[in-house]
A and B are shown apart, each in its own frame.
Chain A
Amino acid sequence: MHLEDTPLDLAQAFANPRPDCGATVAFVGTVRNYHEGQSVDGLEYSAHRPSAEAELEKICTEAREKFAIAELRILHRLGELQLGDSAVLLVCQAGHRDAAFEAARWALETLKKRVPIFKKEHYTDGQSQWLDGQSLAETADKS
């Protein structure tokens, strides 16, 4: 499972390091207090769970095929998040650091383009807005 309704457990994500891996790269995306000139008060993430879980698993599989890594774990938080909360956690283990860095970066950028997760920002002035990212309709038509 990649989607979490409760705070992400960073310690758990680092449990059981592999003895054949000399590099562990971790990325934690946290809720920032500004976006494009607006003062952000919090975020709300929702997802179409069946396709989001499937796509996150597919990204992990593709990363293992594309890069010389041993493990990639991705967790994404859903629900209401406050400033500083962890929104996404990505942990990549590899024999060497280059592959771990490259795979982690690729996986995060791919997640942003392909996974049916939706973000609503809440601003300090009381307004809210759904953020407009990649359209999966365009992706589906090309595949």
Chain B
Amino acid sequence: MTYTIEAFGKLSELLPQPLTLHTTATTVEQLLHDIGAQFPSVHADMTRTAVARGATILDRHARLADGDLLALIPPVGGG
């Protein structure tokens, strides 16, 4: 599977932008695990990182599709 990943907030400074990831991951949980394994600088952040597809924040068990454009969303800080 190949995903294009855009990172936001602090993650935007720790990951290549944009990131094209080739992986066997097919769920959000597996994808976050793979990113943490490939990029140790963000490993600790992955447990509190959400994944969005379009305007939707996905839960960890959501299934991904080959070619998905995904966003990595760290904890929020608006207001």
Does the CB pair A136–B79 fall under 8 Å? no
Q: How far is the CA of A46 from the CA of B10 in the complex (A)?
A: 10
Interface residues of B in 1-43 (CB under 8 A from A): 8-10, 12
Does the CB pair A136–B78 fall under 8 Å? no
Counting residue pairs across A and B whose Cβ atoms lie within 8 Å, the total is 103
What total of chain B residues lie within 8 Å of the partner, measured CB to CB?
25
Q: Judge if A64 is at the interface, Cβ distance under 8 Å.
A: no
Interface residues of A in 104-143 (CB under 8 A from B): 108, 111-120, 130-141, 143
**Interface SS majority for chain A:** mixed
- B32 vs chain A, min Cβ distance (A): 8
B-to-A contact residues, CB < 8 Å? 8-10, 12, 47-52, 54-60, 71, 73-79
Does the CB pair A136–B8 fall under 8 Å? no
Q: How far is the CA of A50 from the CA of B57 in the complex (A)?
A: 10
- Residues of A within 8 Å of B75, CB to CB, are 132-136
Interface residues of A in 68-111 (CB under 8 A from B): 76, 87-88, 108, 111
Does the CB pair B57–A51 fall under 8 Å? yes
User: Which of A51, A108, A111 has the most chain B CB atoms inside 10 A of its CB?
Assistant: A51
Q: How far is the CA of A136 from the CA of B78 in the complex (A)?
A: 13
Name the one of B10, B58, B60 contacting A118, with C-beta atoms under 8 angstroms: B10
